[in-house]
Chains A and B, each alone.
Chain A
Amino acid sequence: MTGHQPSDSEILASLPDRPEAMGVLYERHAAAVFRYLARRAGPSTAEDLLSEVFIAALDGGTRVVAHESGSALPWLYGIAMNVLRRNFRQKSAQRVTAQDPEMDWDAVDARLDAEAKREQLRSALNVLSHHDRELLLLVAWEGLTPAEAAEVLGIGKVAARSRLHRARRRALQALGCGVPNRPAAEMTAATGKEMPA
């Protein structure tokens, strides 16, 4: 006899009263959350932080509503994002050189076989704000829909879609020009102000 398989929505609703239900979410989504962490911080850090994400998810104590897709993953990714930020902040405080607050580039580089590709990827992603970059990566790496990525980032559906469009276009253009810095004549002409350095 097969027992009732509660949906993510049902589990999220029951969490404040039944913390053990987090174990069900873990079995369903731990692998995906691990990949999220590993893509940004490498497998070793991901192993260290995986349990912390689900423990932090228990911390809220308030009822969470699942995304309309029914999946708890967007919510878990949002928590994972904050866990990663805290981890990077702690690491950054121990280093002399500045570190990207949301990405371990060495871990990303390790997945590209050619130095040239590493430079290309940085050229494409460095022209994006951290916010827009995360939106792009949530869709490209985690396979979320724009609406689900909006849930992670706490923005609306229209804003997420328009931002995603702009982020991809900007990243592609950066790849197309091959150099990260280009003249700012157009902006200066429009505003009379110099581009920020």
Chain B
Amino acid sequence: MTQPHPLYIVASPRPRVGKTLVARLLIEFFHASDRPLIGYDLNPREPTLAGRFPHLVWPVDITETLGQMELFDRLIVDNTRTQIVDLGYAPFEQFFGVLDEIGFIPEARRRFIEPIVLFVTDPAPATISTYAALRRRLPGATFVPVHNESVSLVFEKEDFPATRSECSVIHIPRLSPIVRGVIDRPSFSFSAYMTAQPGGPTEVHQWIARIFTAFRDLELRLLMGRLTSSYGGPAPAQQYRDVR
């Protein structure tokens, strides 16, 4: 069975909820295990992720058609690497509008690319309704909510139902302000820190380990879901219909 390559889209309609942090953690998680990957930074005014990983992440402005071609024409042909999109809140609507209009998701699935939307949540009613609308609009994508405890301590599971029950939510634990200052340094690398201090008992170590474990768990659950489908279990498409 050919395993699809994941395309992670880290998204939220709101600013400053930790999208770039989640994208950064994902990149370091995959990079640490030497897996081929490429990232796209869709924050044209402030391409922080591209600045941090200049050899792995490309800044793209999708305001114009040329930028859309630069992004989507690459995403659709690249089924050999894990792809990560850090979707800024400004191009949020346009990104999903184009994605839907050009029929990206069904074609991506046909080409063994699995779109996974890591939706960074917050308790605003507009965000909750946007999440629901997006799921209805893109039934072929896998939605996994991400709860960043630095944004809100409360997470209502019913507000952000995952596409698959086994991939319910990824929690990003809250960090103390001092430690937060450390990880925000341009030179700080999560994977390098873990390598330099394996098993260390620091707050950062536990924080990274918990998130990397959640990513690994998500990968495993997605794989199990695909295997279940291929062996006659409920197909993902059926599951999408069930939740709609």
Indicate whether A and B interact: no
